[in-house]
């Protein structure tokens, strides 16, 4: 048994899983503490929205370009490693900033490389696991483990040392992410090798060029899921701040934040069972309905137990939606445009996120917790779009 342990940690799946774990460490820190850190420096809600939205707006223009470069390269790995290292080095700039424009500059430069590689790593990992006959969900789940662990650590350190812990902790996790990218495997199959899984016959509806993606039923599914995921921007950018203002104890913030990814793990562990029984779009429709329930509840809830129950719906609003859309795109597109197709969805999601942030900033300053009603409306529109897609095009086995 001991002699087999190192071999397990050198498999392509494990090296990719460990990178996913490191990839989400900075998010565990910034999602919980960045809004509070910014608020402590006199940066208002609308400016916090700008800090969150700026890198997204820039990546709307760059994502497809990065996806095209990744697809045309010898392997997707090089783009992932480069983006991780650049983000880690640039994070050191947080030591020198303490006001809006400096924070805006360095946060944008840290976040952009990771946003660029996010669809690339997803496309690379799901193609690699399908080729090797393994389970993508059990690789991606390590990202959630990393996020949970760092959120817990950030919450404990915040309660112990205060908000001064944010900058050093954020820089350390960004550097760890860069280091974790170096052992990543090559994701494409070497020429002349046999796949562990039997090859799947391409359907006539499978897109092999990006132009073929522009079909109404396909676009509607992407747009509906993008709206659902963009509705999370209210929670990501303002959630911890709104809870503190509503009287939620600071010591409870980390626990409440961890409830969501813990429930997300449940979804990923059992996603293969869901996928055998329901199509990706039916799962996406269920996720959107879960979003309506979650955000409506958030608008009227301040008790810790109520918030914990609503946070548990993250298993649907993010876990089910994330796995559903990654599999939907992989099901209906060829490997020739793997990264570009994922990047195209991310562009739609980012455009929706920018619009959401522009809306949420002023709403939070005026309505407080009731701003979550706007997020519920976004999730409802997403459900309508996915339902229309299902009515136009049958599901694919």
**Which tens digit of pLDDT belongs to each residue from 374-389?**
999 999 999 999 999 9
Residue 104 in any domain: the answer is yes
Whether pLDDT at 191 is above 50: no
pLDDT of residue 203: 60
Is residue 196 one of the residues assigned to a domain?
no
What is the number of domains present in the chain?
A: 1
One-letter-per-residue 3-state SS of the chain: CHHHHHHHCCCHHHHHHHHHHHHCHHHHHHHHHHHHHHHHCCCCHHHHHHHHHHHHHHHHHHHHHHHHHHHHCCCCHHHHHHHHHHHHHHHHHHHHCCCHHHHHHHHHHHHHHHHHHHHHHHHHHHHHHHHHCCCHHHHHHHHHHHHHHHHHHHHHHHHHHCHHHHHHHHHHHHHHHHHHHCCCCCCCCCCCCCCCCCCCCCCCCCECCHHHHCCHHHHHHHHHHHHHHHCCHHHHHHHHHHHHHCCCCHHHHHHHHHHHHHHHHHHHHHHHHHHHHCCHHHHHHHHHHHHHHHHHHHCCCCCHHHHHHHHHCHHHHHHHHHHHHHHHHHHHECHHHHHHHHHHHHHHHHHHHHHHHHHHHHHHHHHHHHHHHHHHHHHHHHHHHHHHHHHHCCCCC
Please check the confidence at residue 178 and state whether its pLDDT lies above 90.
Answer: yes
CATH number of the domain bearing residue 122: 1.20.1250.20
**Is 326 a domain residue?**
yes
pLDDT tens sequence across 345-356: 888 988 898 888
Please check the confidence at residue 17 and state whether its pLDDT lies above 50: yes
Query: Residue 200 pLDDT > 60, yes or no?
Result: no
Does pLDDT of 199 surpass 70? Answer: no
How many Cβ atoms from other residues are within 10 Å of residue 297's Cβ?
A: 17
Task: Give a yes or no: residue 31 inside a domain.
Answer: yes
Q: Token pair of 150, please?
A: 């760092």
Arithmetic mean of pLDDT, 10-31 = 91
> What's the confidence (pLDDT) of residue 192?
45
- Residue 43 belongs to what domain range? 11-184+206-392
Could you tell me what percent of the chain has a pLDDT over 90? 32
Tell me the average pLDDT of the chain: 84
Can you give the pLDDT at residue 2?
A: 43
Q: What is the pLDDT of residues 153-163, one digit of tens each?
A: 888 888 888 88
Residue 96: burial class (beta carbons within 10 Å; 0-12, 13-18, 19+): exposed
Residue at 200 is within a domain? no
Backbone phi and psi for residue 100, each to the nearest 5 degrees, phi listed first: -55, -50
Would you say residue 361 lies in a domain? yes
251-308 pLDDT, tens digit each: 777 788 778 888 888 888 888 788 788 888 999 999 999 999 999 999 988 788 889 9
Dump pLDDT digits (tens) for 36-91.
Answer: 888 888 887 778 778 877 887 888 777 767 777 777 767 788 889 999 999 999 99
Examine residue 236 and state whether it is found in any structural domain, yes or no.
yes
Looking at residue 373, its pLDDT comes to 94
Q: How far apart are CA 89 and CA 259, in angstroms?
A: 31
pLDDT at 396: 58
Is pLDDT above 80 for 223? yes
Position 138 in a domain: yes
Q: Which residues have a Cβ under 8 Å from the Cβ of 124 and sit 6 or more positions away? A: 70, 76, 77, 80, 187, 338, 339
Global pTM reads 0.74
Res 370 pLDDT > 70: yes
Q: Are 181 and 19 in contact (CB under 8 A)?
A: yes
């Amino acid at each position: 048994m001991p002699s087999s342990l190192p071999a397990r940690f050198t498999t392509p799946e494990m090296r990719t899983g460990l990178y996913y774990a490191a990839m989400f460490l900075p998010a565990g820190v910034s999602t919980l503490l960045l809004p509070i850190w910014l608020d402590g420096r006199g940066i208002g809600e609308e400016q916090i929205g700008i800090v969150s939205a700026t890198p997204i707006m820039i990546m709307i223009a760059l994502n497809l370009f990065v996806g095209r470069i990744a697809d045309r390269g010898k392997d997707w790995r090089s783009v992932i490693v480069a983006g991780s290292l650049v983000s880690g080095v640039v994070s050191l700039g947080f030591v020198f900033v303490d006001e809006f424009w400096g924070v805006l500059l360095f946060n944008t430069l840290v976040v952009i490389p990771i946003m660029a590689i996010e669809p690339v790593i997803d496309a690379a990992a799901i193609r690699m696991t399908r080729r090797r006959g393994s389970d993508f969900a059990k690789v991606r789940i390590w990202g959630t483990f990393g996020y949970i662990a760092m959120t817990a650590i950030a919450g404990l350190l915040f309660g112990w040392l205060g908000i001064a812990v944010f900058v050093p902790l954020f820089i350390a996790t960004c550097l760890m992410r860069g280091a974790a990218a170096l052992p990543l495997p090559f994701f494409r199959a070497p020429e002349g090798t046999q796949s562990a899984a039997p090859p799947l016959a391409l359907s006539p509806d499978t897109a092999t060029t990006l132009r073929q993606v522009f079909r109404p039923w396909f676009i509607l599914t992407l747009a509906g899921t993008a709206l659902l995921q963009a509705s999370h921007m209210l929670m990501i950018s303002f959630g911890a701040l709104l809870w503190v203002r509503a009287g939620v104890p600071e010591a409870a913030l980390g626990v409440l934040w961890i409830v969501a990814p813990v429930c997300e793990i449940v979804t990923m562990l059992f996603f293969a069972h869901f996928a055998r029984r329901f199509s990706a779009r039916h799962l996406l429709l269920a996720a959107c309905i879960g979003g309506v329930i979650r955000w409506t509840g958030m608008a009227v809830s301040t008790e810790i137990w109520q918030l914990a129950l609503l946070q548990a719906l993250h298993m649907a609003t993010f876990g089910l939606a994330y796995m559903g859309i990654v599999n939907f795109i992989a099901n209906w597109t060829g490997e020739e445009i793997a990264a570009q197709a994922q990047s195209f969805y991310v562009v739609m999601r980012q455009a929706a996120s920018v619009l959401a942030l522009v809306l949420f900033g002023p709403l939070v300053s005026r309505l407080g917790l009731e701003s979550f009603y706007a997020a519920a409306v976004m999730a409802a529109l997403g459900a309508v779009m996915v339902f229309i897609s299902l009515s136009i095009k049958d599901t694919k086995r």
